[in-house]
Structure 1
Amino acid sequence: MHDFTLQELQCFDAVATHGGFEAAAQALHRTHPAVFAAVAKLERRLGIGLFDRTGYRVRLTDEGRAFHARARTLLQEMRSLRRFAAQLALGQESELRVVIGDFCPPRPVLGMLSNFFARYPETRLHLSLEAVGGPVERLLDGEADLIIHGINKRDPALEWIDLGKVRFVPVAAPGLVPKVHTKLRPEQLRSRTQAVIRDTARHSAPQEHFLVEGAHQCTVPDHSTKKEVILQGLAWGHLPGFLVEEELRAGSLVSLAGKHFPGSVEDLVAARRADLPHGPVAQALWNHIQDRRA
């Protein structure tokens, strides 16, 4: 058996992943004959048939399936090594862009960032606050190096560190809603104004959280403003539990949580692009967050 090449492995993986030579060629931006020849050459080098070509679609043989599982591990390590080399070539960054999302508890996160950047005075922190779909959009658009918000954990372009869970509670001032708060139905709140956070995403599909259809809406830029609007009896809405604990205990706000308004629990994470290299300071920040997340 002769040594095989990385290009042959990449072509084999693409055919196995995409289910055919034409689809693999498009994914790799190569010609169909080039991909076919690379896989055939790999099979000759190994002395085994990797694909069953007798059907309409090529399928992995048993040997091909076992080989693919090991090959994917090697290719992942190669991609990781390339990213690491790119990180070394970047040198220490002059700026890092961090976006904090609307339901992030500000005090501990800002304290963590302050502690970290005090150790890297040559790297400027560019900090911005975004809401709803804004943080993830900034990250995917290349306008942020790291976000602290919620993400779609099924997105292969992202990697994350779990920081905790944030409970959202539907609340109102006592005089705004009927006394039987926990049995309210959506139609009973259509005549009341609902406070909602303004989505700062510029081109992503709008996200609608907890909206009562047909209700008048009051849009606000952040949860602190939203809380004040609700405290003044001008609207009702959902707020992070950490922001209203004292008011709920004191009775200046009442919870509307019940069968029809259960609230929610959202994962708060630190997230970054998994498909891009990160410089040494960005990696140090990532490690710092992992160490401090408790």
Structure 2
Amino acid sequence: MSEFTLHDLQCFDAVLRAGGFQAAAESLHRSHPAVFAAVAKLERQLGITLLDRSGYRVRPTPAGKSFHRRAQSLLRELEGLRTHAAQLAMGEESELHVVIGDFCPRPEMLGLLGRFFAQCPATRLHLHFEAVGGPQERLLDGEADLILHRVDKSDPRIEWLDLAKVPFIPVAAPGYLPGAVARAAKPRSLRDYTQCVMRDTARHMPARDYFMIEGAPQCTVPDQLMKKEIILQGMGWGHLPRFLIEDELRDGRLLSIASRHLPGSVEDLVAARRSDRPQGPVLARLWRHLQDKPGEIQTP
């Protein structure tokens, strides 16, 4: 089988879309004989009949239909490549991948990103949600241009902007723990009670143990909202970001079990990108946008 060209595929695709050679030629701004010859050449090169020409209008043969389905994906990729090249020529990225981590305040961050990307219609935002070690792993694997999470600030491959301090508080529903345990919680006294923990979406980085009580039964959840609901229902205890549970702490639906033995923590929420790779102009503007608006991300 000889090699066929993209021009041949485009002519065949146009004939099927337009319903005939003349209409295809007009849509491609080519002559009727040129389009007819390109499709005939494609059939010879493939060794199959793509079009049934026996009727008033040409129709695809079964082989033609099957071949056209596969060809369409290639033609879409070609169109996407052309768009990407045009945007590169303009100096702007055609797409950006942003990962939001599990303890990022979503309404504030999504609002900020929405307002920014509304001003960048030529750049497609791919938004991903990852947990625990997943965001940093995606960044280091080249699958994310920007992450909003915690990072290892000692890693020379990463640069970051501090966005907010996020307090994490150990909490339980009233009555879930005996009074003595709730008043002076110690890790060893919690081993008999289910600890609700986040599922790490990292695929190959070493697991990190955030607040884990060794030997305690565990309930693993995909996000902080599910974790909060499990704890509210008295099915376990766990650490939650304070901004997510202000109302529940205030009205007593959740109780803090923080103690000197179980103090909780304060995590740095950052925007992070690779420091060892060139950055495009849209990402650079987004970086400045985040740098100039730290007050928009509020955590109690």
Unpaired stretches in structure 1, ≥5 consecutive residues? 1-87
- State the match for 1:76 in structure 2: none
Alignment of 1:20-169 (within 5 A): 91-169=91-169
Structure 1 residue 259 displacement after superposition? 1.4
Q: Is the 8 A contact 1:182 1:255 kept in 2?
A: no
The Cα of 1:182 is off from its aligned counterpart by 3.4
Indicate yes or no: 2:183 matched with 1:187: no
Partner of 2:220: 219
**CA distance in 2: counterparts of 1:196 and 1:185, whole angstroms:** 17
For residues 234-273 of structure 1, what are the structure 2 equivalents within 5 Å? 234-273=235-274
Max radius of gyration: which structure?
Answer: 2
The AA in structure 1 aligned to 2:185 is L
For structure 2, the residue ranges without an aligned partner over 5 or more in a row are 1-87, 296-300
Q: Which amino acid aligns with 1:227?
A: K
Give TM-score scaled by structure 1 length. Answer: 0.69
- 1:188: Cα distance to partner? 1.9
What residue identity is the alignment partner of 1:276? R
SS for the counterpart of 1:277 is coil
**What is the one-letter code of the residue matched to 1:123?**
T
Structure 1 residue 187: Cα displacement: 2.2
User: Matched residues in 2 for 1:106 and 1:212: separation?
Assistant: 28
- Residue 175 of structure 1 and its aligned partner are, at CA, apart by 1.0
**Which deviations, in whole Å up to 9, do the C-alpha atoms of 1:15-66 show, x marking residues without a partner?**
xxxxxxxxxxxxxxxxxxxxxxxxxxxxxxxxxxxxxxxxxxxxxxxxxxxx
Deviation of residue 90 (structure 1)?
8.3
Could you list the per-position Cα deviations for residues 227-286 of structure 1 after superposition, in whole angstroms to 9, with x for gaps in the alignment?
000000001000000011110111111001001110000100000000100111111111
Amino acid at match of 1:237: G
Q: Secondary structure at the match of 1:245?
A: helix
Structure 1: distance between partners of 2:154 and 2:122: 35
Query: What SS is found at the alignment partner of 2:189?
Result: helix
RMSD after superposition = 1.2
Partner of 1:282: 283
Query: What is the rounded CA distance, in whole Å, between the counterparts of 2:191 and 2:101 in structure 1?
Result: 28
Deviation at 1:102, TM superposition (A): 0.4
Deviation at 1:189, TM superposition (A): 1.3
State the identity as a percent. 62
In 2: Cα distance, 1:257 partner to 1:192 partner: 16
Alignment partners' CA distance in 1, 2:194 and 2:92 = 50
Deviation of the 1:147 alpha carbon? 0.2
- The residue identity in structure 2 corresponding to 1:142 is G
